[in-house]
Amino acid sequence: MRILIALVFSLVFLKGNLHAQSISQIVKEYVKSHYPDYKVLRVSAPSADIKGKARIELEFQDKFYLRFNVSGDLNGKEKTFPVSVRVVKLKSVLIASKDILPKQLIIRKYLSYKKVPEYKVNGGFSSIDDILGKRAKRLIKKDRIIKQFDVIPDFKVFKNRPVKVIYANGAIKIEMMGIALKNGAIGDIIEVKNISTGKKLLCKVIGNGVVEFLR
């Protein structure tokens, strides 16, 4: 009988505690559930526990703060408390899912998304299409945010190096040699100097060391 009474007392005690939460914790969980694009930095709330279900109403919102009115049962009385929450906006950014070595071509399996505070995103990539096919300029460690200065285009022609220039017009096709006047990746429009005449040609990069004459 004593064991049974002790067990019942323990269950009642646990149940009571499970139904009482601090205002601060209630608001933290509410923000996490209803505002997934924000991270809570600080909650300014009265040091009190609310029993049962709390009612939360948004009073004010801007980039840095969320302000709520939280109502609930405090010691058998219905009360309302103003609560201020300091937040930071989160944004999805691309990070390295593994170490990426210098000059390594960046492919999809090397990348993943992570939500980080907005102020950390400056210079990062939010679209995977903006980074695929580029090469690492330096070692990019796993879980690091990839910044624009970490990558370079996958150049197919290089400044001051020879390139094959192709001119095609219907059935006519002419090939000549030139010198690239700047680096270029596939699709880039660059100037190439004709080795024979010294004339500058406007060309489109179409392959490794190969450009197409435009005009």
CATH 2.30.30.760 applies to domain 162-213: yes
Strand ranges inside the chain, DSSP E: 20-22, 38-44, 49-61, 65-74, 77-96, 111-117, 135-136, 151-152, 162-169, 172-180, 189-194, 200-207, 210-213
Alpha helices in the chain (DSSP H): 2-18, 23-34
pLDDT for the residue numbered 171: 85
Q: pLDDT tens string for the chain (215 positions)?
A: 444 333 333 333 333 334 578 999 999 999 999 999 999 999 999 988 888 889 999 999 998 999 999 999 888 889 999 999 999 999 999 999 999 999 999 999 999 999 999 989 999 999 999 999 999 999 999 999 999 999 999 999 999 999 999 998 888 899 999 999 999 999 999 999 999 999 999 999 999 999 999 97
The rounded distance, in Å, linking the Cα atoms of 59 and 26 is 16
pLDDT for the residue numbered 129: 93
CATH, domain range 90-152: 3.90.1210.10
10 Å CB burial of residue 80 (0-12, 13-18, 19+) is: exposed
Q: Where are the domains of the chain?
A: 22-89, 90-152, 162-213
Q: Is 96 left (phi over 0), alpha (psi -120 to 50) or beta?
A: beta
Strands 38-44 and 189-194: unpaired
Supply angle C-alpha 145, 96, 137, rounded to 5: 80
Closest CA to 68 of 46, 88, 51: 46
